[in-house]
Structure 1
Amino acid sequence: MVSILIPTYNYDITALVNNILMQAKGLKEAYEIIVCDDCSNNNISLLKNKSFCIKNQLVFLENPNNLGRTKTRQILAQKAKYNWLLFLDSDVLPKSNTYLLNYIKHITPELDLIYGGFTYEKQKPEPDYYLRWYYGKEKEDIEAKLRSKKPYKTIISANILIRKEAFLNVNSHLTDNRYGYDNYFSIQLKQHNYKVLHINNEVFHLGLEKNEVYLKKKEQAAETIYHLYQLNKFKDPHINGLLHSFLTLKKYHLKNIYLFLFKLVKPIFTKNLLSKTPSILILNLYRLGYFCSLTKQKNA
């Protein structure tokens, strides 16, 4: 009934899969677990993951080249034999011991996607990881009741149960290896009018990036939104918060002024974001300034 699909790259998935296996033993429904390694260059984790899957008679796929998470998920979905796909990133761990059952009992013919949510450890990590942790706590660790008010806004595809047909329809639009496609994934769900249910069935996000790495990833996510904007992929450009803010600046002829000010304060912003007290407001202002800088040469 459910295909549990886990893409991985240079990450030890044994704790996650062992947790899922323990929970799956109590299910009455049929299930399968498929792991796909995206051409890891860390042989230790690769061999450990492969050995674990073979020992437990799980399907273990290996990409011959690094294809990225989007294409790897496409491969997993096409390989899956059941109509409901549970996608889990390799660096997560279910919060509940009834995680699988919590999802399965909410499946109905009317639904296309069920999102359980994201959460983070209460204890702060090392300061080098503060930016990702603060962002996750403020923007991603949200109760289902609040998420349901804007059902397409806060979907993180690292923990979703989705109908296979819906996933293949949406994911097929994402063809290249870019970071930050979750925003567009959610937009596609809305544009296709897929029915979404939010529940409290969180996974802990364990694989935090260092501050410098995560700031770079936020720049890459802005680049992805800009790329999609240039391709006219947004039926409603205001559906994305970053793009909406940019278009508001452009409408009132403030883009160049904002970009000028951003260049002046960028070192100050960067210092804050890499500090022990990063501000998510400053991160949003930084992203907007960076987005404006992307449009300068194109006169967007």
Structure 2
Amino acid sequence: MQTRHSSILQSPSYSIGAALVAVTLWSMAPLMAELARATAPLQLTALTLLAGALATLPLSRRVPMARCALSWTLGVWLGIPLLIVGAVSSYFIGMRLAPAAEAALITYTWPVLFVLLSQWSRWGRLHWASVAGALIAFSGAAILLLPQAFNGGFGGVAWGYGLALLAACCWALYSWLGQAAPIALTPLLPRLLLIACAFTCLGSVWLEGGVALPRGEALVAGIALGLGPYGIAMVAWDKALRFGQASLVGSLAYGVPILAALLLVLAGMSVLDWRLPTAALLVVVGCLKAGR
């Protein structure tokens, strides 16, 4: 029996609308993280992942894992939660050590890394357009980094930029595993987020001395991060890719760094100078070039 989807789900406007919901929520993540700055980063990560698991709970269903090799079973239940922890916690810590807009911009170079990884794993080589796109995107990041290097070093900011790049690598690997896995990962997402939350709680107890529930604005921001960027946005993105044209839907994600930086500037949490919009434009152009 062939499964049929409704005409609403098959319409291009549905997939584009779902993608725009995801892009908007992802763009709000740096602003929400800044509002929860008073919370220890691993505690914030644990709260975010727990809220994300609850938000994606309607997606949960059984997946026949018996068909998977042992390496893929370990990769799904251990590797992916660790990548989620690495991506989210590195992102939050990086924005504590470096300016939030710049750190977010570096993190959102992950589509370029994903394209390079996918091409190398599939064909064993890289296309020149992808390499050129990567160089363009990372030249945008260099615009943010070089002035500080010429002025006598980075200090703690270097660690923030490095962690932002680590978050980008984690998201690229997560996306590649989701593409290469022999099973669909979306029905497993609530459980994967809960496992990642458990890992983060252990790390918080070890490194931060315990897990405490944030209060006030930080609590609301942490829950909003899980429900939005790491909950509803992931569901919307899955629907957009499933029912829409992947190249068109994927291109919308390249607007995230620009919109995220704009929201931080409008909120007074980042200072606008020529470097930030120039770097954001180069990252978007580089992602588009690599995606072709």
TM-score, normalised with respect to structure 2 = 0.27
| Higher strand residue share | 1
| Higher helix residue share | 2
Structure with greater Cα Rg: 1
